[in-house]
Structure 1
Amino acid sequence: MSLMSKLLTSALIATVALSANTEVNNKVLLNYIERNVVKNPQVEVKGIKILEKRELKDLPGWDIYLTSMHLVYHKKNIDAPEMIFVKDGLATSHLVNIKTGRDYRNEIKPTVPASMYNDAHLLFGNKDAKHKLLVFSDPECPFCRDVVPGIMKAAKENPQQIALYYYHLPLLRIHPVSGTLTRIMHVAQSEGKKDVVQKMYTLKINPRETDTKKIIAAVKKQTGYDITEDKIKSDEVTKALEADAKAAGRMMVTGTPTVYVDGKWDKMRNGYKKFIKN
């Protein structure tokens, strides 16, 4: 069970009544969260922040609030994302089409804040390029291996058109080796050796390998990049990857690859192709 599952309990089709004339604000949503979303008595809800208000043409009359909950769990502060659908005095965290089973919660992600387009995450392209792509990825994810190399190539070859910002999201339960690989990738990128990041997408290694020395040796043999175990286990690297994980939570990202084009979630992951010159 994930930490988020421990913190929250949301009913898929439960709709909670608000006063029809209630103005939706932080206080109203906080009350809803306390009563209907956070069910773990060990979790204290300290506050909620509305990050964004959205609408979907398929859901006329519904306002969609993308929020960040400030929680305390075992004396640890946690900022957890939550999506709330509101219409005519009703509120729910999931809105499901009964005929199709479509959960509209899965159709929406927040807009990328400007702060996430920073130099530390710029992988390829110029930061003043006409279009910004942002990717959450794991080099061992098969879908990432199909999609992300093409995005990298496009940004490298069209630097005035595309700036690619890269965030690590290793899926450790599926391929534990990514924990060490992403550390190596972070250091390589910070040293300006960005091609090492690209080469990780063709690395041949057991996805369940956890021996750091063996992983470093495989990377050196296949990419030519040599690095020490102490360097990838530094506090700076740990904090950077924790920040990436926090960014994924802020953006309600749970899988890879997740791609954004000019701030908007690109569900099909191919929107960048229209920026490539033929």
Structure 2
Amino acid sequence: MSLMSKLLMSTVTATVALSANAQPDNKLLVKYVKRAVVKNPEVTVKGVTVIESKTDERLPGWTILLTTMDLEYQKKEIHAPEMMFVKDGLITGHLVNLKTGNDYRDEIKPTVPQSYYDDAHLLFGNKDAEHKILIFSDPQCPFCQEIVPEIFKASRENPTKISVYYYHLPLLRIHPVSDILTRIMHVAQHEGKMDAVEKIYSLKIDPRETDMTKILAAVKSHAGYSVTAAQVDAKEVKAAMNADEMAAGKMMVSGTPTIYVDGEWDKMRNGYKKLIK
């Protein structure tokens, strides 16, 4: 169980009465979070910030609030994403389709903020391309290895039509090797070695490997890219990885690959194909 899971516990049935407005008073949102979301008495709820308010045609009459909960735990500040569904003075964290069993909480994602499309994360294509694709990925994830290189290829071949913005989200419990691999990719990207970034997706390596020397040698052999341990361990590189992880949290991303096309979540991960027809 993750630290966040220990701190928070949402419930499907918890609802509280709110005002009839689609955008409830912030004090009521804080009250709701204290009563129905944050169950750990050691966690203090400092506030709730609504990042985005949206609707969904599958949920007529409901307003979906994508929020950040500002918490304090053991004197540390924590900013945790939370989704809320509001309708007719009621609020809940879960809406489940009885026919399919699907929780709409897992079907909806925030819209990508414009600030996420920055030069530091532009991997392929032109910054003024007609369409923007944003990716959260781990190069050792089998689904990523199948899908992400194809998106890279589409952007390389259509740079004026598609730009790719890339965020690292290594799944360290499954692929500890990705800790070092993603940092190598970050250094390579900022050296302009985009080919090395792409080749790391086809690297065959023990997913549990953590020996820096072995990983650097494997990358050099496979991708022809040389980098030092000092470069990979640099503070600014680790800070960039942490920033990408925080960005994923704000976007309520928990798995890879998570892909957005022109700001909206591409659940089927194949939306890029329609852009190059």
Q: 2-side partners of 1:93 and 1:271: how far apart?
A: 28
Contact 2:18–2:24 (CA under 8 A) maintained in structure 1: no
Q: 2-side partners of 1:130 and 1:23: how far apart?
A: 33
Instruction: Tell whether 2:157 aligns with 1:150.
Output: no
Amino acid at match of 2:154: A
Task: Tell me whether 6-15 or 233-242 shows the greater mean CA deviation.
Answer: 6-15
Counterpart of 1:255? Answer: 255
Q: 2-side partners of 1:250 and 1:204: how far apart?
A: 31
Contact 2:22–2:63 (CA under 8 A) maintained in structure 1: no
Q: Deviations over 1:216-256 (max 9, x none)?
A: 11001111111111110111011000000000000000000
1:153 Cα deviation from its structure 2 partner? 0.3
Q: Deviations over 1:129-187 (max 9, x none)?
A: 01000000000000001100000001111000011000000000011100000000000
Counterpart of 1:48? Answer: 48
Counterpart of 2:32? Answer: 32
Q: Deviations over 1:78-101 (max 9, x none)?
A: 111000011111111011122321
Q: 1-side partners of 2:136 and 2:23: how far apart?
A: 36
Q: Deviations over 1:94-147 (max 9, x none)?
A: 111223211010110000000000000000000000100000000000000110
Amino acid at match of 1:107: E
Task: Tell me whether 192-201 or 93-102 shows the greater mean CA deviation.
Answer: 93-102
1:73 Cα deviation from its structure 2 partner? 1.4
Matches within 5 A, 1:1-16: 1-16=1-16
Identity of aligned residues (%): 66
1:12 Cα deviation from its structure 2 partner? 2.2
TM-score w.r.t. the length of structure 2 is 0.97
Task: Tell me whether 34-43 or 255-264 shows the greater mean CA deviation.
Answer: 34-43
Q: 1-side partners of 2:101 and 2:23: how far apart?
A: 30
Q: 2-side partners of 1:113 and 1:102: how far apart?
A: 26
Task: Tell me whether 166-175 or 45-54 shows the greater mean CA deviation.
Answer: 45-54
Q: Deviations over 1:245-274 (max 9, x none)?
A: 000000000000000000000001111111
1:203 Cα deviation from its structure 2 partner? 0.3
TM-score w.r.t. the length of structure 1 is 0.97
Contact 1:64–1:86 (CA under 8 A) maintained in structure 2: yes
Q: 2-side partners of 1:232 and 1:42: how far apart?
A: 37
Contact 2:15–2:36 (CA under 8 A) maintained in structure 1: no
Task: Tell me whether 69-78 or 106-115 shows the greater mean CA deviation.
Answer: 69-78
Counterpart of 1:69? Answer: 69
Amino acid at match of 1:214: K
Counterpart of 2:238? Answer: 238
Counterpart of 2:268? Answer: 268
Counterpart of 2:226? Answer: 226
Change over 3 Å in CA distance of 1:276–1:19 after alignment to 2: closer
Contact 2:14–2:36 (CA under 8 A) maintained in structure 1: no
Contact 1:13–1:96 (CA under 8 A) maintained in structure 2: no
Q: 1-side partners of 2:81 and 2:176: how far apart?
A: 25
1:43 Cα deviation from its structure 2 partner? 1.1
Determine helix, strand or coil for the equivalent of 2:134.
strand
Counterpart of 1:82? Answer: 82
Q: 1-side partners of 2:23 and 2:78: how far apart?
A: 27
Amino acid at match of 2:38: V
1:194 Cα deviation from its structure 2 partner? 0.9
Q: 1-side partners of 2:142 and 2:21: how far apart?
A: 49
Matches within 5 A, 1:174-189: 174-189=174-189
Determine helix, strand or coil for the equivalent of 1:209.
coil
Determine helix, strand or coil for the equivalent of 2:268.
coil
Give aligned pairs, total.
277
Structure 2: gaps (5+ residues)? none
Q: 2-side partners of 1:62 and 1:132: how far apart?
A: 29
